[in-house]
Amino acid sequence: MKRIKVTCPLDCFDTCGLIATVENGCVIRVEGDKEHPLTQGYICRKGRDLVTRHNHSNRLKHALLKTPSGRKKISIDQAIALLADKLTDAKETFGSLSVLNYPGGGYGGISKTSDETFFNCFGGVTVPRGSLCWAAGIMASKLDFGEPRGHHPADILNSQVIILWGRNPHATNIHLSGYLKKTSDKGARIILIDPLVSETASSAHIHLAVNPSTDGLLAMSMANHIMANGLHDASYIRKHVMGYGRYRAAIKPYTPEFAAGITGITADTIRALAEIYASGNPSSIVIGYGMQRYRNGGNNVRAINALGAITGNIGKNGGGVTYATRNIKNYIRPHAETSLLDVKHHRSFSVTQFGRFLEEADNPPVKVAIVSKANPLVQSPDVSLTRKAFRGIDFTVVMDHFMTDTAACADLVIPVTTVFEEHDLFFNSMYSPYLSYSEKAVEPPEGVIGEFDLYNRLAKTMGVACYPQLDRNTFFSKALSLLTERYGVTLETLKKGYFSIPGSEVPWKDEHFLTPSGKYELWSETAKNLGLSPLPEYLPPLKHPKGFPLRLITPHKKNSLHSQHFAFREDLPQAGLNPQTLKQYGIENNAEVYLESPLGRIRVLVTEQKGVPEGIVKLFEGWWHKSGAVNLLIPDHESDMGEQAALYDSFCRIVVV
Ligand SMILES: Nc1nc2c(c(=O)[nH]1)N[C@H]1C(S)=C(S)[C@@H](COP(=O)(O)OP(=O)(O)OC[C@H]3O[C@@H](n4cnc5c(=O)[nH]c(N)nc54)[C@H](O)[C@@H]3O)O[C@H]1N2
Ligand SMILES: Nc1nc2c(c(=O)[nH]1)N[C@H]1C(S)=C(S)[C@@H](COP(=O)(O)OP(=O)(O)OC[C@H]3O[C@@H](n4cnc5c(=O)[nH]c(N)nc54)[C@H](O)[C@@H]3O)O[C@H]1N2
Ligand SMILES: [Mo]
């Protein structure tokens, strides 16, 4: 029996430290590593399920090629030779841009990012831009601060007031939940702003059910009250904030009274909220990603960030506005020599509009597509168009552990290693500040390959000259080189413990922002040059299209990471509706109905939920097509900035079966 230190590879805020138990060459159990400074031995169900998935009988163990008579098992050698031929043909006939590489975030280790280097060396290919996940808020934070930086998780213990703004840590970020409990026990006040009564609501002292897509206006009306009543921090603003006067003038119309009707929060409550926030010493805001999945998502995040700046809560212990944590990323450079930035020749498409791009691309058309670490035929907007367009590509390859809906459409499926079968390095840009080493626990089955080895072999087969044929340790050492220089971090030190950047616990404490002016920018020339409003602006929420009176919100599920844990379910998706909405449609709890949007319909099971406001349908994302893929209903709108998928700007109606 061996106990091996690994890292949870899931695309999540926490990136937990794990200990795998190996018996007779099999991983039999995984538990939390008590030594991990953030996750401290406590892990979630999805983390424990890594073992179930790893050992599952449905796991892919052979490369599979689609033939006219069905899928045929082929060896990894044959798969590599075939892929090499297809890539060479496409490049010779249509140019390298006829190849599309779609890497997702389904695994967080750096060893599985060598596809980027490979395709750069291959000549530059077509790649996604923007995000299905967090890009509006990232762009907003870049404009305001110069870079998205988060407070160290433990720093929240110094806060007196915490606003969780559209974040659901009880489901998506359990170690933030742990800190919230501790800080609440110490007397901090927790306010949750979320249209739905989420799993987190019971731990908040105040829950405000804001109307969807109106958070920017709520934040502006709070700022309006703060400024009008002298609750702002004039000295901080004078020294560190750009554009205060102009912002103050711009938001004059957005009084609590004006905002009340639109946000659904009364003017008195808005005033009270503004006063609680401004009087906290300090107050912190933690923003989630749900609230920026709207056409106005970026401006909404900018308006929330502004609250931190005008009250002087930035750069203080226990203060700040935390959205993401970009610190380790800046130091890791596995692809320094061959990064995308150095490639002159590449084409990109908005990931939100994958299907649309495939339909329209003709110069050159996409001839070969490779998808890894993603399940876009479930998770992309307008999945019906995406699926049709994906099927229309001459040759498609999917690398995964299971026959997902995306893999099922592919010509070639390549089974890849799990986290237990790789040595790897992990860091997180969402919340956890820790870098970790994950040790290989077991050998992969014979027909399975890891992406790192696959691209080394593919490059060799194809004679891609500039591809750096590194062994894994050299690759890791190169990736760590900056951290080694500055902090003495090496593979050996990481094998013993976890690392975070010293002195990065409280961002902007040095009062030097990474914006062009060096200040916090309420007024951003960068935004202006991009054709955006230089100040955060109020963009009203979308109107319902005629005939589709219900808003469809599709948040993340506690016991699944996106589509991954729906793999073994075949039941209907459950749609949460308010009792009043049920009454209005004359439907019973547990009835089967169709949900229909302008794009399509799926069959769902209705569940009565008081915590879902009237006029909203709550349906978790991630259900596979065999149950009913919710993204069949979701249009491919983009946010105001960052090319973020405006996934929750979706509307539907109920059609009784
Ligand atoms: N268990 C689990 N954990 C996960 C994931 C998962 O799938 N499952 N996914 C990971 C990933 S990739 C991500 S991006 C994160 C997401 O993490 P979170 O941002 O915490 O989760 P979401 O479900 O995307 O949205 C959070 C909340 O935003 C609310 N919301 C929706 N619209 C609005 C609005 O207009 N205003 C406000 N104020 N709130 C709104 C939703 O009701 C929801 O409760 O979680 C990560 N962690
Ligand atoms: N309606 C709606 N849609 C959404 C969202 C929403 O809130 N609502 N959220 C969006 C968000 S925030 C995100 S981040 C995206 C997520 O979208 P995806 O990342 O596409 O979602 P997953 O279902 O996690 O798919 C990841 C796939 O990677 C595979 N995988 C795991 N490990 C490995 C590996 O080591 N190698 C390879 N090659 N594959 C591996 C998994 O088996 C899984 O099939 O979805 C977006 N879509
Ligand atoms: Mo995400």
For residue range 92-112, what is the model confidence (pLDDT) as tens digits? 999 999 999 999 999 999 999
Residues of the chain below pLDDT 70: 333-345
What is the number of the ligand 1 atom nearest to the C-alpha of 556? 23
Instruction: Please report the pLDDT score of residue 512 as a whole number.
Output: 96
Q: 492 to each of 476, 488, 651, how far by Cα in Å?
A: 11, 10, 52
Would you call 598 helix, strand, or coil by DSSP? coil
Please answer whether residues 397 and 125 qualify as being in contact, where contact means their C-beta atoms are separated by less than 8 angstroms. no
Q: Is the CB of 107 under 6 A from ligand 2?
A: yes
Which residue's CA is minimally distant from atom 47 of ligand 2?
A: 379
* Chain segment 404-421, per-residue pLDDT in tens: 999 999 999 999 999 999
Instruction: Please report the pLDDT score of residue 326 as a whole number.
Output: 85
Cα torsion angle, 615, 620, 625, 629, sign:
positive
Instruction: Please report the pLDDT score of residue 458 as a whole number.
Output: 98
> How far apart are the CA of 132 and the centre of ligand 3, in A?
7
> How far apart are the CA of 429 and the centre of ligand 3, in A?
11
Instruction: Please report the pLDDT score of residue 235 as a whole number.
Output: 98
Instruction: Please report the pLDDT score of residue 657 as a whole number.
Output: 87
**Ligand lying closest to the C-alpha of residue 324:** 1
Would you call 31 helix, strand, or coil by DSSP? strand
With the most atoms of ligand 2 within 8 angstroms of its CB, the residue from 379, 639, 647 to mutate is: 379
Instruction: Please report the pLDDT score of residue 465 as a whole number.
Output: 85
**Ligand lying closest to the C-alpha of residue 291:** 1
Strands 99-103 and 436-438: unpaired
Please answer whether residues 91 and 123 qualify as being in contact, where contact means their C-beta atoms are separated by less than 8 angstroms. yes
pTM over 0.85: yes
Q: Quick check: bond before 334 cis, omega within 30?
A: no
Strands 368-372 and 520-521: unpaired
